[in-house]
Amino acid sequence: MKKEPIVVRVMLVGLGNVGTGFLRILARRHERLAARYGLVFRVTAAADSSGLAVDADGFDPAALVALKAAGRGIDTLPAFRPHVSAAEALGQAPCDLVVEAAPLNLENGEPGLSVVRAALANGIHAVLADKGPLVLAYGELSDAARRSGAALAFSATVCGPLPVINCGRRDFVAAEITRFRGVLNATTNFILASLEQGKPYREALREAQDAGAAEADPRLDVEGWDTAAKLVIVANSVLRTPASLQDVAVRGITDLGPGDLAQHRRRGKTVKLLAVAEKQGRTYRLSVAPAALPADDFLAACNGWEMGVTFDSDLYGPMYFKTWEREPGPTAAAVLRDAVNVCLPG
């Protein structure tokens, strides 16, 4: 006997590249999700910067994608609810899962932080593509999740589809991770490759932005803060070390020119914006800075749109992971992965 699929009522906050990518996959994979996982995702609330709309029967994901592609906002829908925040809406309509994919805000984590906080307090699972709330309030949010029994998942926040967080949390059982290193920002990595080929900085940045992979504010990428944010998430969730951005020594790539890279190239080295967590005593030294890596370093071969990490530990031997991502589809898939994994029965 075939069991009836479980309906998961989703509030989607943020309809940018990742949010609409998530909707695209829901539209295309609806039947597979029901057949393989027994889950039907119904987007019953959706919010963008223009506001929030609620439909208990569920929005058509493809229609929401079309709305955004046409340059329109949620506030043009009949189901628009003026003067209702996402956090308030959680108390007014049933919801099983919040998917939070709002733009990165490292100042105060909003608008994501409030809705994630409200969800977890009420036992509603939260899946984040947005790093802000995790960087600013990881301890508070994970405590809230533990107390209410809700899941807090965020595998899309570090290297998109690459399961850095999942492997880090699940696959190094009983070990101490002695060193974590990562090329965590594909935009910067692409720009560095272009600089190495002799392209001017502005041209390299524009190409990265045209591909839609750069953060809305490119300073977050090139000044190293996006990388630092990911390192803070790894420190808190994988390395079990409470850390904030203030604990990371951050230097970006903005003072590098084609000349610097050519010089290292002649010595057989490649410059990467490297995140490092190095165990020192009972804690970790955290840093983000350009590093000239020898050719046989795994991360030196992390090219262009690739992102990669290495883990050293006292039980498992060295591990190396990398992926390639030019557009945010795979990151959106990582959001769906978390959504399925937290909602799976059993």
Which residues form the catalytic set? Answer: 230
Residue 323 makes contact with its own copies by CB under 8 A: yes
Site residues (CB under 8 A) for its own copies, limited to 34-93: 36-37
Choose, by CB under 8 A, the member of 172, 177, 211, 245 that binds its own copies.
172
Nearer to its own copies, 170 or 219 (CB): 170
- Distance in Å, CB of 252 to its own copies, minimum: 25
Does 336 contact its own copies by CB under 8 A?
A: yes
Is 33 a binding residue for its own copies by CB under 8 A? The answer is yes
**Residue in 7, 40, 93, 175 binding its own copies, rule: CB under 8 A:** 175
Contacts with its own copies: how many residues (CB under 8 A)?
41
The span from the first CA to the last CA of the chain, in angstroms, equals: 18
Tell me the closest approach of the beta carbon of residue 319 to its own copies, in angstroms.
Answer: 5
By CB under 8 A, what part of segment 260-319 binds its own copies? 298, 301, 308, 315-319
Among 72, 147, 170, 219, binds its own copies (CB under 8 A): 170
Q: Which stretch binds its own copies (CB under 8 A): 27-35, 64-72, 108-116, 192-200?
A: 27-35
Residue with smaller CB distance to its own copies, 248 or 307 = 307
Of 52 and 333, nearer to its own copies (C-beta) is 333
Contact pick of 74, 162, 177, 274 for its own copies (by CB under 8 A):
162
Positions touching its own copies (CB under 8 A) are 25, 29, 32-33, 36-37, 155, 160-163, 166-167, 170-175, 298, 301, 308, 315-325, 329-330, 333-334, 336-337, 340-341
